[in-house]
C-alpha cells in the first residue's frame, strides 16, 4: 500500500504523471489491519467521483494540527474541478462510523519546488475549512526534529491503499506494514533505481528484501513512522512489493519543517494560534 500511487481504478482521480506508468505509492502489501482507531492522526483524502456520485479515497494524510493535514504534493488535488474532503476518525471507509469527522478542504499548499519528474520535494499542506475536533478518536501526530533516519531502522507505514499488486480497489479498513530503511547508495545502484530518479537526502528508501512488504497505490501521502516518530511521507515506487524497487518516502527534513511552520503561521495570522506539535 505504501508506494507512490497509480491506482488503476482511480486513475482518473489520482496523479501518476511523474516518472513512468509503473510509478505508484498507494497500497499496503503484506500488512495487517491496525487496531481500530489506534492511529487517530490518519486522514483519508477523498475526491468526489461525478460518475459514481460518491467520494473516493485518493491519498492518505496526517493530521498535524486541527486545521491542517500533511500529505504528498503528487496527490494533485484540482480545486475548482473536484470536490475534496478529508475523513478523520475512521477505521473503515465504507462503514458509517460515528467517530468520523468529514471536513472539507479549503486550500492546498504544495511545496514550491516540487518536481513531478523526479519526485523531489513531494510534500503538501491542506488547510481544512473546519477544524477537526480533537478527541480519543481524532488526534495530532507530532512532527519530528528533521534528523535523518539510519539504514536498517525498522519503520511502519499505514494506509487504505490496495493490498496486492493485482488488486484494483483500496482497502476498506486501515492497514499497516513493517519495512526497513535501505541505504540510499543501495537504492541508487543499477540493479535498484539506477539513478532514475536519484534517491536524494530529501528521501527515505525503505522496503523488504523479500518483496513481501510495501506501500502501494492509495497509500500515497500517508505517514512513515520510524521508531514511532513521524519520519516521512509515502511518495513513490515502481511495481508494488518489488524487492529491487523499494518504496520512496519524502523525508521530513529541517527545511520542510521550517516551510510548514512558515506556511501555517502565515495563514493562521487572522485565525487562532496553530496547535501543531513540534
Task: Please identify every residue annotated as catalytic.
Answer: 74, 122, 220
Question: Cell 530518479 sits at which residue?
Answer: 197
- Residue whose entry in the numeric block shows the C-alpha cell 501518476: 16
> Quick one: CA dihedral 239, 198, 256, 154, positive or negative?
positive
Paired residues of 45 in beta bridges? 59, 86
Distant-in-sequence, close-in-space partners of 248: CB < 8 Å, separation ≥ 6 = 3, 4, 25, 119, 187, 199, 203, 204, 205, 235, 236, 237
Q: What is the DSSP letter of 73?
A: G
* Alpha-carbon gap, residue 73 to 116, rounded angstroms: 9
> What are the residue ranges of helices labelled H in 85-231?
184-187
CB pairs under 8 A, 24+ apart, for 188-191? 191/244
Amino acid at each position: 500500500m505504501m508506494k507512490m500511487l497509480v491506482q488503476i481504478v482511480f486513475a482518473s482521480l489520482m496523479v501518476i504523471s511523474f516518472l513512468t506508468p509503473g510509478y505508484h505509492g498507494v497500497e499496503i502489501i503484506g500488512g495487517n489491519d491496525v487496531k481500530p482507531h489506534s492511529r487517530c492522526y490518519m486522514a483519508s483524502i477523498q475526491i468526489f467521483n461525478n460518475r459514481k456520485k460518491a467520494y473516493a479515497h485518493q491519498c492518505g494524510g496526517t493530521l498535524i494540527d486541527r486545521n491542517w493535514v500533511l500529505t504528498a504534493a503528487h496527490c494533485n488535488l484540482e480545486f475548482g474541478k473536484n470536490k475534496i474532503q478529508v475523513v478523520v476518525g475512521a477505521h473503515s471507509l465504507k462503514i458509517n462510523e460515528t467517530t468520523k469527522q468529514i471536513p472539507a478542504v479549503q486550500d492546498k499548499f504544495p511545496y514550491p519546488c516540487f518536481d513531478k519528474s523526479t519526485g523531489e520535494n513531494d510534500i503538501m499542506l491542506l488547510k481544512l475549512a473546519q477544524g477537526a475536533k480533537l478527541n480519543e478518536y481524532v488526534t495530532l501526530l507530532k512532527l519530528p526534529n528533521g534528523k535523518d533516519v539510519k539504514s536498517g531502522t525498522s519503520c511502519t507505514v499505514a494506509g487504505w491503499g490496495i493490498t496486492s499488486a493485482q488488486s484494483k480497489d483500496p482497502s476498506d479498513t486501515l492497514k499497516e506494514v513493517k519495512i526497513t530503511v535501505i541505504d540510499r547508495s543501495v537504492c541508487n545502484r543499477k540493479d535498484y533505481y539506477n539513478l532514475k530518479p536519484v534517491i536524494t537526502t530529501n528521501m527515505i528508501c525503505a522496503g523488504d528484501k523479500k518483496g513481501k512488504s510495501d506501500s502501494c497505490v492509495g497509500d500515497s501521502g500517508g505517514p512513515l513512522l520510524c521508531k514511532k516518530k513521524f519520519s516521512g511521507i509515502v511518495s513513490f515506487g515502481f511495481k508494488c512489493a518489488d524487492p529491487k524497487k523499494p518504496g520512496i518516502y519524502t523525508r521530513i527534513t529541517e527545511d520542510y519543517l521550517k516551510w510548514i511552520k512558515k506556511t501555517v503561521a502565515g495563514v493562521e495570522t487572522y485565525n487562532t494560534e496553530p496547535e501543531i506539535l513540534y
